[in-house]
Structure 1
């Protein structure tokens, strides 16, 4: 699906147009044009590239899966690979958004419908007179800012879950918590792998003064850059906390295992001592005075009881039982 939002002299037209009509639309005079492609086919991508004269390598990156966040600058425009983030019961999910940005147009491409795209488009339509006159730089900022702001609720949910796991560990670690902790660490690692390169992308937009929009937008890109720094710091802090929780859980599991081993060892020693007495009096020698003694049986049982109780008290004192 291709959606075209056109701004011209404080007037706007929202057109759901097939890709074949884009050459005519692009040829018209306009102050700002946004072309959004949702789950495009290879033919649609190729047609878009032909209309805007995009470099084949940039189009190839658009069709690639799991591309690293980056910015490639070409003559008169740039290609930006960026990611949004959502969180569900199943875990974190990243959504790629490929962006072509020129002096008076922006082309976005993504595999599925994204709320952040609709929200940015709605915001632009509602403020089309002001935002349209600001050019492509401010529209790009609006989209990138919305994508980056989506990271914060995801990190908040992960941090909240990490604190819950920490509480469970402090109340007594369990082996099953290892899998939950490692799952959260993997989610944080995925966010870190995306946010780090995205910080570099924003650094380029802030430092290199791209020619396809003015200097006024640099302050806005700096705001997105600062948000990414906060995200990276939060991810690193939460990962460090989870590393401590993981170590604490391993220590608690090891401690609980040692407690079980000590109890089993103590019980085994007590039983072995009693078995030793039973084994001695169970030998079939002729000359065993206790066999003919009237109180021999009671003496043997009493001896076993005394040894067992004595060992039990000793192990109890040293906290093995």
Structure 2
């Protein structure tokens, strides 16, 4: 589906399910800022958009390659930027969707894979209601806002993961027997996923600041600095979270070892009490007729009594040493 949003300081217009040719004709016939959002991975549609706008053939290939890292490229009359949108689905899993962005004079074109939902609802609402300064700025500010929405989605997921890690930490501190390994591994995979996309995204934003200067106004350089700082903060969160998860795993292993030590201590105490009794029982379990105690009338009760006294003495000694 193709959606065309056009606006200036005083007007706003939105057309949905528009054809590539109709969108191109509408864009060519106006001086308003145009945002063409293409939610489709159909090669024929993409090829038509590329041909109408006279983009380089390599741009089409970059758009079609889904499994690719964020990148930034400069062409004669436009710049190309690709990244990955991250959203949390209903199963609390992180969904990935590649987005490619083309910025040219007064026109911004975004290419999505066509998966349900994206991270631009708030941005569309700002344009529609003329909130903030977006409708008073040129198209490069819209370009920044699109990138900011993508990076903000990373930040929101990072904050959610930070809360989950802190909850996990509190849980393991209050309950030594709490099984955390599955949760730790699940969170660690999410953190690694964000980190895998954030590192090349930082490189792409850094390159854009220097190489894309001709397409970006000087007044918007401060916004790009802020965007770069956001990406750095996300990367720092990923590194910190990996350390925190490693500490949680170490704490879990320590708790397991302590529990094992408590079990072994209990077994050792029981063994220490009953070993002398077992020794005595072993002696009197031998079948020798010459053993004098065999003919003693009270031998059975005497041996049991001796075992009880020995056990009580050992228990008292362990208690005095505070081993119990």
Same fold (TM over 0.5): yes
The aligned residue for residue 101 of structure 1 is 103
Name the CA distance, whole Å, in 2 between partners of 1:268 and 1:301: 18
Per-residue Cα deviation, 1:34-73 (whole angstroms, up to 9, x for no partner): 1101133121111111112222322222222232122122
Instruction: Note the C-alpha offset of 1:20.
Output: 3.8
Q: How does 1:105-120 map to 2 (within 5 A)?
A: 105-111=107-113, 112-120=115-123
What's the secondary structure of 1:150's corresponding residue? helix
Name the CA distance, whole Å, in 1 between partners of 2:124 and 2:151: 16
Matched, 1:189 2:189: no
Q: How does 1:1-321 map to 2 (within 5 A)?
A: 1-7=1-7, 11-16=11-16, 17-87=18-88, 90-111=92-113, 112-127=115-130, 131-132=134-135, 134-174=137-177, 176-316=179-319, 321=324
Per-residue Cα deviation, 1:56-104 (whole angstroms, up to 9, x for no partner): 3222222222321221222211221123333355333333321111122
Per-residue Cα deviation, 1:244-277 (whole angstroms, up to 9, x for no partner): 2221111111111121122223323434432222
Contact 2:8/2:136, CA 8 A, preserved across alignment = no
Q: TM-score with structure 2 length normalisation?
A: 0.88
Moved more, 82-91 or 223-232: 82-91
Contact 2:85/2:118, CA 8 A, preserved across alignment = no
Per-residue Cα deviation, 1:89-133 (whole angstroms, up to 9, x for no partner): 533333332111112211112232434223222322333996456
Contact 1:76/1:102, CA 8 A, preserved across alignment = yes
Moved more, 70-79 or 288-297: 70-79
Per-residue Cα deviation, 1:158-189 (whole angstroms, up to 9, x for no partner): 11221121122223433721221222222112
Q: TM-score with structure 1 length normalisation?
A: 0.89
Name the CA distance, whole Å, in 2 between partners of 1:236 and 1:245: 14
Contact 1:8/1:29, CA 8 A, preserved across alignment = no
Q: CA RMSD in A?
A: 2.6
Instruction: Note the C-alpha offset of 1:3.
Output: 0.6
What's the secondary structure of 2:216's corresponding residue? coil
Unmatched 5+ residue regions in structure 2?
none
What's the secondary structure of 2:290's corresponding residue? coil
Unmatched 5+ residue regions in structure 1?
none
Contact 2:33/2:106, CA 8 A, preserved across alignment = yes
Name the CA distance, whole Å, in 1 between partners of 2:289 and 2:216: 110
Name the CA distance, whole Å, in 2 between partners of 1:194 and 1:248: 29
Cα gap change, 1:271/1:54 in structure 2, threshold over 3 Å: closer, same or farther?
farther
